[in-house]
Structure 1
Amino acid sequence: MQEGLEAAAIGAGKAQGAAARPASQRAMQRRAVVAASLGNALEWFDFTVFSFFAVLIGKLFFPVEGEYGSLLLSLATFGIGFVMRPLGSVVIGNYADRAGRKPALTLTIGLMALGTAIIGLAPTYAQIGIAAPLLIVAGRLLQGFSAGGEVGAATSFLMESGTRANRGFMVSWQMAGQGASALAGALCGALLTRGLAPEALESWGWRVPFLLGLMIGPVGFYIRRHLDETHSDHARERSAFAEVLRGHGRALLLGTLLILGGTASMYVVVFYMPSYLVKMAHMPPATSLLAGCAAGATLLVLSPLAGWLADRLPRRKPLLLAVSLLSLLVVWPAFSAVQGQPSLATVLAVVVGLVALLSTSSPAGFLLIMESFPRKVRATGLAIVYASGVTLFGGFAQFIVTWLLKLSGDPMAPAWYMLGCSAVSFAALLAFREQAAAD
């Protein structure tokens, strides 16, 4: 009798433990999603606001003559932050693969917040002269360095916090977080543009979103300090950077080429579209900002669904091939429609359609790349891939497209740029070897 009671108690304890483990695992995954998304949100919120106020920032900090002069300098400053991304990917990626994901994530959000504060509080050129644009550049360089390691550490952390059955869904929150922050940035820009007089917007209104973004920093810093670690390797003798270069060169090259199409499309459609609509389609600034809202909302809603889909497919590559081919086919008609009928309805349909394609492929694309690297070099590998591709063809996308518009006068220049980058990515995808699910 006593033995039976003891056996029953042991069985009940095991059952309770088995029930508690999934509950605790779900709680850990929720913390992982929030922690990883907050750092990414700060980065993208700032990028979105900077892009939407690029014309005004150019006027205040880069006062040069010519229709495109100050805008080009403002967009070049936006792009110059990306020059630091490869350095950040190596330094912070190595740190994440050695010391752990948690300390790397804590470091990146602190650096991002500092860069945002510098930009939001910088005096204008009229107030302090040449020091003003130098401060803006310094803020962007600091943000670029931190962002270079953020994606590798945060996305690896999301993947490793999930299981083989839901890692696509976990990774999808990287893009969903970007969508949420892009939506918040666009809404903030639209409300300020509509609600403030031009003088007030130029005087202080443009600074409000940057200062609001700073609120994310302390919250994210606190949450990231209290995460459960998913990987660390303090005893490693060789740097992850050296190891990934020596043993995974093919994955680095093809991974970098693979993300070109999506990166170029993302930065043109989400960030450049408001300036493009004002300059080329002569739409009101507040109306054009709604395109950014539509892009952010689409990313936020569709990315988790795309992650769920990626988890249920036996292979990632067929989905990516189908989406890539469809993207190549619709880019030209999409921009032709905007030029032919520059109405709000047309713009929103084009933006939602293009971003929907990006959302559908992103989780599967991230998994395809990350599963080609072992856990011990995953953060460094993904960070280098992402930083290199984004630096070369994403960060300077707005500058390149504006320069092409000035040089050719062809309003279809953004479509040509996106088509070229997408064609390169399609070729890289054909050559990419899909690996079995990694640890």
Structure 2
Amino acid sequence: MNSASMSAASKGKLSRKQLIFAATIGNALEFFDFTVYSFFALTIGKLFFPTMSSYGQLLASVATFGVGFVMRPLGGVVIGAYADRAGRKPAMTLTIFMMALGCALIGLAPTYAQIGVAAPMIIVLARLLQGFSAGGEVGASTTLLIEAGTPANRGLLGSYQFASQGLGVSLGALMAGLLTMFLHPDTLLAWGWRVPFLMGVAIAPLGMWIRRRLEEQGSPAARAVRMPVVTVLRDHWRNALLGTLLTMGSTVIAYVVTFYMPTYAIHELKVPATTALLAGLVSGVVTFVVGPIAGLLSDRISRRALVFWPRLAVVVLIWPAFQWLSSGPDAARLLITVGGLSVLLALQAAPAITMLPEMFPRAVRATGMAIVYSVGVAIFGGFAQAIATWLIRITGDLHAPAWYVMVCVALSCLTLPFIRDLTGKPLED
């Protein structure tokens, strides 16, 4: 290749930082939207379910949040197979467009007072669309990251996918906090809550532009199988089951600690909204910072061990943490509880998200990753907030969400001895 051709190729090829940005911006946008929705769950409940009691409004709002997760497995199957056959790049461009459309529907949706029952139906439609796109996003983007890595740095690259979740949470919490702090409650209820969703729409074109510049490893046509979903379920069903149960541990911790805790603090513990939102910001920042550190460690020691010990610590500590927090709820206790649990979340989730695509051969890697992640999150994470709210209601115990986390995390740990640890080893092609 002559110097001119090499120069042109180098200009078209993304640097490692650009590759990480391209692969993770969709995930960050997804969690930005989820965070904003979670923090404005009470507001959305009032505007779109006004005929219900305050408890009913909250439950309907968080259940609508969970509805999007029902579509994740379907999105994982469809978009994951598309990524394995057509390539990671076109699949990732499609998912970010669909995420932006979902944000636009929520940000522009008329309220119940304006159009009646059609209003919550629009919100549900938007969440279904976002869930479908998110189901395929993580499979394609995480697969792209680890395939761009080497046995020596694959865990670090994969961890940026989890770290991007922390970035999305941080930005979402910061935006919600600033709006809550500087806007009058009536203004926030009238239009202020819409601002973050519309900002999510504005971010998407940048992600689509840089994703179009991605270069993939190998030819999609050369590695494609005829029916990736059938191949995964027929030939790799054991890994699919183990991967789904492995996902259960991370997702339950994440959705209870990061997304439910601010709503729990406001609704159950009567903590000021700005304090609860600050807790969400702390959780996002901690996962954003600790995630890559955990990824780096996972390349040096066993990924399996790095998943197990923090999960064991969560099982032991989360009930005392809920008890300590509810016995004297204040800003300091809330931030310490959320911050400490978020460190444990990041330490185990970063290596876990790398282990998932490592379980499948290249021809069905995006499909396998998408299926196990989306099914695990749909079953155990999407309705975690609704389950936690319901458990408190029927038991009268403010610590009930901790029991849900303990059971799910303990069960997920049982899968670890049966999952092959590829730390420092090449991927199966």
Name the TM-score, length of structure 2 as normaliser: 0.94
What's the CA shift for 1:311?
1.2
In structure 2, what is the equivalent of residue 277 of structure 1? 265
Q: Bigger CA drift: 329-338 or 390-399?
A: 329-338
Answering whether residue 386 of structure 2 is matched by residue 384 of structure 1, we say no
**CA distance in 2: counterparts of 1:167 and 1:366, whole angstroms:** 11
Q: Contact conserved, 1:32 with 1:157, CA < 8 A, in 2?
A: no
Q: Distance in 1 between matches of 2:356 and 2:216?
A: 22
Q: CA deviation at 1:229?
A: 1.5
Paired residue type of 1:268: V
1:296 maps to 2:287:
no
1:133 counterpart residue number: 120
Matched, 1:394 2:374: no
The secondary structure found in structure 1 opposite 2:221 is: coil
Identify the residue that residue 108 of structure 2 maps to in structure 1. Answer: 121
Residues 65 and 237 (structure 1), Cα distance of their counterparts in 2 relative to 1, 3 Å cut: closer
1:259 aligns with 2:247: yes
Aligned to 2:274: 286
Residue 372 of structure 1 aligns with an amino acid whose one-letter code is M
1:35-434 aligned at under 5 Å gives the runs 35-234=22-221, 236-313=224-301, 315-434=302-421
| Aligned 8 A contact 1:97 1:232 in 2 | no
Shift of 1:26: 10
Distance 2:35 2:106 in 1: 14
CA displacement at 1:36 relative to structure 2: 1.4
Matched with 1:28 is: 15
CA 1:318/1:279 → structure 2, altered by over 3 Å: closer, same or farther?
same
Give how far 1:432 is off. 2.6
Residues 1:237 and 1:261: Cα distance change in structure 2 (over 3 Å):
closer
Following the alignment from structure 2 to structure 1, what is the Cα–Cα distance between the partners of residues 232 and 331?
Answer: 47
Shift of 1:437: 3.6
Aligned length: 420
Answering whether residue 397 of structure 2 is matched by residue 438 of structure 1, we say no
Identity of aligned residues (%): 53
Look up the match of 1:10.
Answer: none
Quick check: 2:75–2:131 contact (8 Å CA) kept in 1? yes
Unaligned runs of 5+ in 1: 1-12
Change (3 A) 1:240 1:122: same
Amino acid at match of 2:380: F
Q: Flag the 1:136–1:232 CA change in 2: closer, same or farther, 3 A.
A: farther
Whether the 8 Å contact between 1:121 and 1:207 is mirrored in structure 2 is: yes
Deviation, structure 1 residue 341: 2.2
Residue identity matched to 2:61: S
1:77 partner amino acid = T
> Shift in Å at residue 102 of structure 1?
0.4
The superposition leaves residues 111-132 of structure 1 with CA deviations (integer Å, 9 ceiling, x where unpaired) of: 0000110000001000011111
Please give the alpha-carbon distance, in whole angstroms, between the structure 1 residues aligned to 2:218 and 2:234: 21
SS in structure 2 of the partner of residue 380 of structure 1? helix
Counterpart AA for 1:309: L
User: Deviation at 1:24?
Assistant: 9.1
CA deviation string 1:295-314 (max 9, x = no partner): 0000111111111111112x
Q: Deviations over 1:322-365 (max 9, x none)?
A: 22211211111111111122121111111111111111112221
Residues 263-289 of structure 1: CA deviation (Å, up to 9, x unaligned): 011001111111100112111111111
CA 1:205 to 1:231, structure 2 compared with 1: closer, same or farther past 3 Å?
farther
**Residue matched to 1:9:** none
- Which of 1 and 2 has greater Rg? 1
How big is the shift at 1:398? 0.4
CA contact (8 A) 2:13 2:215 kept: no
Over 6 Å off, 4+ runs: 23-26
Q: Give distance in 2, aligned partners of 1:287 and 1:149.
A: 34
1:188 CA displacement: 0.8
Relative to structure 2, which stretch is displaced further, 203-212 or 233-242? 233-242
- Residues 306 and 55 of structure 1: CA distance in aligned 2, closer, same or farther (over 3 Å): same
